[in-house]
Amino acid sequence: MKFIFFVSALFLLTTTAFSQLKPMRTGAHSFTIQWISFNKVKPGTVTIKPSKNGTYSIEGEQRDKNHNEYVTIKGTIEPIGRNLYFNGKIVSRITSINNGQPCELNGQAVFRASGQRKYWRLQQMLNCDSETTDYIDIFF
């Protein structure tokens, strides 16, 4: 029984250590919200820079100037495994959602990469109108 516990503990420690060995890629990353991407607008960009205590700053946007629609992000992220723990502000404005008013998400949120996806997706997907699902993605 002690052997099984030891092997299990060793596996968890090793898995955690390996998941933290790969540093976050800093610099420019593509950034999208599906409503603007459907309009055939190029992806936006976020810039990720090292900060302190294992966190990174993140700031950027995607805009569709023809429809005055956008998504912006500013804050910090802490990568742990396949999650990015975000703290800051995300604002989106899509003319056909939330009566065309900006929707703000302030504080903590989680972006997660699942399966074979090449991006982290915001897990708090419900727009301010409480009816619409937004897919906000940060690409590797």
Residue 63 belongs to a domain: yes
Residue 48 belongs to a domain: yes
- At residue 16, the pLDDT reads 44
Query: Among residues 53, 125, 112, which one has the least CA distance to residue 86?
Result: 112
Residue 75 belongs to a domain: yes
- At residue 53, the pLDDT reads 85
In angstroms, the CA 43 to CA 57 distance is 20
- At residue 38, the pLDDT reads 73
Q: Categorise residue 107: left if φ over 0, alpha if ψ from -120 to 50, beta otherwise.
A: left
Whether the model pTM is above 0.85: no
- Return the CATH number at 124: 2.40.128
Give the position of tokens 């459907």.
38
Residue 16 belongs to a domain: no
- DSSP letter at 61 equals E
In angstroms, the CA 12 to CA 21 distance is 14
Residue 20 belongs to a domain: no
- For residue range 69-121, what is the model confidence (pLDDT) as tens digits? 999 999 999 999 999 999 999 999 999 999 999 999 999 999 999 999 999 99
- For residue range 14-61, what is the model confidence (pLDDT) as tens digits? 444 444 446 788 899 999 999 998 778 899 999 999 988 889 999 999
**How many domains, in total, are found in the chain?**
1
Residue 111 belongs to a domain: yes
Which domain covers residue 115, as residue numbers?
25-139
